[in-house]
Amino acid sequence: MTYTFGQLTTYVSKRLIDPNNTAVAVSDVQEGINDAISYWKFRRFWFNETAETVTLTAQNPTIPLPDNMLVPSIQDDGFNILYGGVKYPLVKVDIPTMDSLYLSNGYGLPRWYARMANLEYQVYPIPDQNYVTDLYQLNDYAELVSNSDSNDFTNNAKRLIALWSVANLVSELRQDTPGTGDYYRSAAQDEYRNLRVLTAKKNASGKLQVYSQLNNRGFR
């Protein structure tokens, strides 16, 4: 269900007991909504993770990242080299380890990657040819501006964003209501846990396990 910036602004304002925005201006409510999205976008949900494909360039260690990438959504296997019909996962290492591996003439199929001090993700060995690479990422989001704007969070986590916005706005701009911010922050954490249940179910791995009441042994 699409839920717009304007609709979310109204939703939050009602919970501030200020539907006409006399105590908290519309601009402050909308800033609070954008702040809430900025806070929660670093968490992994089923709706803010995507898979993208990029191409490593021969003799260039830098991974060209999509414009909407925030961070890799997982550590190892976040990047995979696709070569010869096989996926070769890149293992993430820290900068000192990458530096210890590095040779200026170390060309070949990349095995490792690191986020370097220049803010780039680089691979090693340096690609000896162009390699198609897939990656799993958390998406970054531009701030909502127009009332008609929407994004993954307004559409899939409306209540989480609203509750977190209200908690912050009440605590910072409606100090005539002591304790209210604590309620909304607790409610937001409950909503987050609920969203994580669905995320876990969508991302879960494993096998069905059946238990026998006769011998108490599990069969996979």
pLDDT tens by residue, 119-146: 799 999 999 999 999 999 999 999 999 9
pLDDT tens by residue, 25-45: 999 999 999 999 999 999 999
pTM value > 0.75 = yes
- Structure token digits, residue 36: 């809430």
User: What does pLDDT average to over the chain?
Assistant: 90
Q: How far is the C-alpha of 28 from the C-alpha of 23, rounded, in Å?
A: 10
Share above pLDDT 90 across residues of the chain, in percent, rounded to a whole number: 76
CB atoms near residue 136 (< 10 Å)? 16
Q: Which residues contact 160 (CB under 8 A, 6 or more apart)?
A: 36, 40, 153, 188, 191, 192, 195
Q: What is the mean pLDDT of residues 64-93?
A: 90
Report the pLDDT value the prediction gives residue 219, as an integer from 0 to 100.
40
Helix runs in 53-179, H state only: 95-101, 152-156, 158-173
* Strands in the chain per DSSP E: 49-56, 69-72, 79-83, 86-89, 91-92, 107-108, 112-115, 121-124, 126-127, 131-139, 210-211, 218-219
Residue-range domain boundaries for the chain = 5-41+141-203, 49-139
